[in-house]
Amino acid sequence: MTEKNQTSEELETETSVHQDEAVTAETVEEDSVEVEEQPALTAEELKDAEIEELKTKLQEEENRRLRVLADLDNARRRAALDKEALQKYRSQEVLTNLVPVLDNFERGLSVKAESDDAKSLLTGMEMVFRSLEEALKSSGLTEIEAAGIEFDPNFHQAVMTDSDDNYPSGSVLEVLQKGYTLKDRVLRPAMVKVNE
């Protein structure tokens, strides 16, 4: 009986072990099914997340590329404008230095000549003055209009005031020193007397 008891106990143990193994095997199969289903969804979600991340990075790189292209285009445009301005105003320094020479020529030409030698000298000075004026005009130097027009602080510098009923208030009565522009830039404003 002990052997039978042992055998039946062994059988029961073996049966319960087999049942436990079967339950464990089913559980493992269910778990593996669940694991297989979850990775499929997770892999798809990961793939979608990666795609979204790549799209975001691509958009950022595209934006960065467009900004760099815009910066490059602006730099080219600025360089072209600087080059154009340099060409346009390249003679500014020389003309600024020549404006006082024009003033001195005009003062010299305003002197009355008495002798024949002085008259011939004056005629030669007038010819040189006209040649210089033409050369400066061809470089873009122009005289600022002032006499008889309304005072403009952009082009005129008021150094005196006077009262004259023949002119409206705020108009230029007299030009004391001529002013000049180089193309659209003021080299020297005209010094004027303004009517009160």
Kindly give the confidence (pLDDT) of every residue in the chain, 196 residues in length, as a single tens digit, with 9 standing for 90 and above. 444 445 555 555 555 555 555 444 455 455 444 444 444 558 888 888 889 999 999 999 999 999 999 999 999 999 999 998 888 788 888 888 999 999 998 888 888 888 888 889 889 999 999 999 999 998 889 999 988 889 999 999 999 998 888 888 888 999 999 999 998 889 999 999 998 8
Determine the Cα–Cα distance for residues 112 and 64; give it in Å rounded to an integer: 74
Per-domain residue ranges for the chain? 1-88, 89-195
List beta partners, residue 191.
Answer: 157, 177
Determine the Cα–Cα distance for residues 153 and 192; give it in Å rounded to an integer: 11
Handedness of CA 104, 106, 107, 111 (dihedral sign): positive
Q: How do residues 1-58 score in pLDDT, each as one tens digit?
A: 444 445 555 555 555 555 555 444 455 455 444 444 444 558 888 888 889 999 999 9
Residue 144 contacts residue 172 (beta carbons within 8 Å): no
Neighbours of 175 (CB within 10 A): 18
Residue of 155, 164, 166 whose CA lies nearest to 192: 155
For residue 14, the model assigns a pLDDT of 56
**Tokens found for residue 141:** 């130097």
For residue 47, the model assigns a pLDDT of 87
For residue 35, the model assigns a pLDDT of 46
Say yes or no: domain 89-195 is CATH 3.30.720.210: no
SS3 169: coil
Residue of 173, 174, 176, 178 whose CA lies nearest to 188: 178
Q: Where are the beta strands (DSSP E) in 83-182?
A: 141-143, 156-162, 172-177, 180-182
Going by their DSSP bridges, the two strands 180-182 and 141-143 should be labelled as antiparallel
Residue of 184, 108, 174 whose CA lies nearest to 140: 184
Give the DSSP H or E segment for 5. Answer: helix 2-88
**pTM of this structure:** 0.58
